[in-house]
C-alpha cells in the first residue's frame, strides 16, 4: 500500500489544525501551547466526536442546548471531555446547559448568569464562563459592548459556583483583514486589563476556521474550529 493519507479523516484534519496552530504561534512569538483548540462538533454525529476523542481531542463546542445535552448523556463514558456551550442561551434552556456544560462561553446577560449559577449550585458543580462581546457592534449579534465589559464582569464574579474565565467574540465577516485584527486587538486589550484585576481570567476565545491565524496573531488563547476538522455542515 502507498501512503495512506485520507484528508477526510478526522484525526488527520485535527493533526493538521494543531500543526497550523503550532506554526502560527511560533511565527507570532506565542508561547508553545498558549493556544488551545476547541473542536466545534455542532450538527455532527457522535461517531465524529468519538473519532476526534480517540485522536486525543478533549475540548468540544456545541451551540444548540438540546444537542449538547443529548451528546453529553450519550458520550458520558468518554472521560475528561470539556464541553463548551457556545450558542445563544434562552432562559428555559439554562438548566440543561448547566448540567451538560463544563464551560458556557456565550454569557451576555446577568439574568442568564444568575440562572446558571443557581443550577450549578444545585448540581454541586462549578461552571466556567466567558462573557461574549459584540465586538463588531452588530445589531444582529449577541454579546455585550466592549465598554460594558468591566461592569458586567464585576457583577459576574460575585455569583456562586461560577468561575469567570474570560472573553469570547464572533466578529462580523470582514473583507478587510486589518479591520478584523483591530477588533481582535481591542478584545486583547480588554482581556489583559481584566487579567490584572481578576486572577481567574485566562481565556480569550477568538478565531474560527476562516480567521484562526489572525486570531492567534492577536492573542487568542482558544480557537473554535468546526469545518476544518469535521467538514462543512448542511
Ligand X SMILES: *Cc1c(COP(=O)(O)O)cnc(C)c1O
Q: Which residues bind ligand X (CB under 6 A)?
A: 40, 42, 63, 86, 170, 208-210, 224-228
**Minimum gap (Å) between residue 103 Cβ and ligand X:** 12
Residue 63 or residue 117: which is nearer to ligand X going by CB? Answer: 63
**Minimum gap (Å) between residue 133 Cβ and ligand X:** 12
Report residue 222: phi and psi, to 5°. Answer: -155, 120
Q: What is the 3-state secondary structure (H, E, C) of 47-116?
A: HHHHHHHHCCCCEEEECCHHHHHHHHHHCCCCCCCEEEECCCCCHHHHHHHHHHCCEEEEECCHHHHHHH
Evaluated on CA atoms 55, 164, 89, 213, the torsion sign reads negative
Report residue 103: phi and psi, to 5°. Answer: -130, 145
**Minimum gap (Å) between residue 167 Cβ and ligand X:** 13
29 DSSP 8-state letter: T
Residue 111 or residue 173: which is nearer to ligand X going by CB? Answer: 173
Residue 1 or residue 7: which is nearer to ligand X going by CB? Answer: 7
Residue 20 or residue 157: which is nearer to ligand X going by CB? Answer: 20
Task: Count other C-beta atoms under 10 Å from residue 3's C-beta.
Answer: 4
Distance CA 201, CA 109 (A): 18
**Minimum gap (Å) between residue 101 Cβ and ligand X:** 14
- Residue whose C-beta lies closest to ligand X: 226
**Minimum gap (Å) between residue 162 Cβ and ligand X:** 20
The helix-helix angle for 149-156 and 177-197 (nearest 10°) equals 40
Residue 154 or residue 227: which is nearer to ligand X going by CB? Answer: 227
Amino acid at each position: 500500500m502507498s501512503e495512506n493519507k485520507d484528508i477526510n479523516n478526522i484525526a488527520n484534519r485535527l493533526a493538521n489544525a494543531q500543526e497550523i496552530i503550532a506554526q502560527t504561534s511560533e511565527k507570532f512569538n506565542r508561547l508553545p501551547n498558549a493556544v488551545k483548540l476547541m473542536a466545534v462538533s455542532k450538527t455532527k454525529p457522535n461517531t465524529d466526536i468519538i473519532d476526534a476523542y480517540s485522536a486525543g481531542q478533549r475540548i468540544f463546542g456545541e451551540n444548540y442546548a438540546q444537542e449538547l445535552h443529548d451528546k453529553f448523556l450519550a458520550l458520558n463514558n468518554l472521560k475528561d471531555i470539556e464541553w463548551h456551550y457556545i450558542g445563544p442561551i434562552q432562559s428555559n434552556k439554562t438548566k440543561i446547559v448547566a448540567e451538560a456544560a463544563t464551560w458556557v462561553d456565550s454569557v451576555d446577560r446577568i439574568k442568564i448568569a444568575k440562572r446558571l449559577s443557581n443550577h450549578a449550585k444545585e448540581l454541586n458543580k462549578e461552571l466556567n464562563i466567558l462573557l461574549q462581546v459584540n465586538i463588531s457592534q452588530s445589531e444582529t449579534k449577541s454579546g455585550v459592548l466592549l465598554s460594558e465589559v468591566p461592569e458586567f464582569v464585576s457583577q459576574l464574579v460575585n455569583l456562586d459556583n461560577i468561575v469567570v474565565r474570560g472573553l469570547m467574540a464572533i466578529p462580523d465577516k470582514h473583507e478587510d483583514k486589518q479591520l478584523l485584527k483591530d477588533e481582535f486587538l481591542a478584545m486583547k486589550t480588554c482581556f489583559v486589563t481584566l487579567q490584572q484585576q481578576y486572577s481567574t481570567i485566562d481565556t480569550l476565545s477568538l478565531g474560527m476556521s476562516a480567521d484562526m491565524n489572525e486570531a492567534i496573531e492577536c492573542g487568542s488563547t482558544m480557537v473554535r474550529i468546526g469545518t476544518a476538522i469535521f467538514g462543512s455542515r448542511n
